[in-house]
Amino acid sequence: MDFFRSFSYPTAAAPSSLPDASAVTAHIEESCPEHNDEPSDTQPSAAATAAIIPSTVPKDCNPGGLTLETDDSVSDVSPSAFPHIIWEAAAFGQADFPEIVECLMDTGANLNLIRPETAADLGLTPRRLRNPIPAGAAFDEPGSPPSASFTHYVTLSLSSRNLRWNSRTLRAVVAPNLCSPIILGLPFFVRNKILLDPEQRTAIHKETGVDLLNEDSLPLPPPPKAHRLERRKKFRKDWKMCIQELKEVCAVRLKQLESQDLFEKLNYVAAIRGTIEILASQDANNKLAAKIVNEYNLDVFEPIPHADLLPTDVLAHLPLKDDYKPMKTRKYSVPRMLRPKFEELIDLRLHQGFIQPSSSHFSSPSFVVPKAYPTALPRWVGDYRQLNKNTITDLPDPDAPK
Q: What is the pLDDT of residues 280-303, one digit of tens each?
A: 999 899 888 888 877 776 566 566
pTM, full prediction: 0.39
Q: Is-contact 18 51, C-beta < 8 A?
A: yes
Average pLDDT, the chain: 77
DSSP 70: -
Architecture of domain 307-389: Roll (3.10)
Closest listed residue to residue 2, CA positions, set 53, 49, 36: 53
Superfamily classification of domain 86-205: Acid Proteases (2.40.70.10)
Q: Residues 357-371: pLDDT tens digits?
A: 888 878 888 999 998
Domain with CATH 2.40.70.10 in the chain: 86-205
DSSP 316: -
Q: Residues 343-401: pLDDT tens digits?
A: 999 998 888 888 888 888 788 889 999 988 888 889 999 998 888 888 988 766 666 55
- CA distances, 241 to each of 133, 146, 232, 235 (Å): 56, 65, 14, 10
Residue 34's identity, in one-letter code, is E
What is the average per-residue pLDDT within 91-107? 83
Domain with CATH 3.10.10.10 in the chain: 307-389
Q: Helix (H, G, I), strand (E, B), or coil: what is residue 162?
A: coil
Does 142 have pLDDT greater than 90?
no
Q: What is the pLDDT of residue 76?
A: 59
Q: How far apart are CA 153 and CA 175, in angstroms?
A: 9
80 class by beta-carbon count within 10 Å (0-12 exposed, 13-18 middle, 19+ buried): exposed
Q: What is the pLDDT of residue 153?
A: 94
What is the average per-residue pLDDT within 195-208? 88
Cα angle 86, 156, 367 (rounded to 5 degrees) comes to 125
- CA distances, 352 to each of 264, 307, 349, 357 (Å): 45, 6, 5, 13
Name the range with the highest mean pLDDT among 30-34, 99-103, 310-314, 321-325: 99-103
Q: What is the pLDDT of residue 64?
A: 43
Q: What is the pLDDT of residue 154?
A: 93
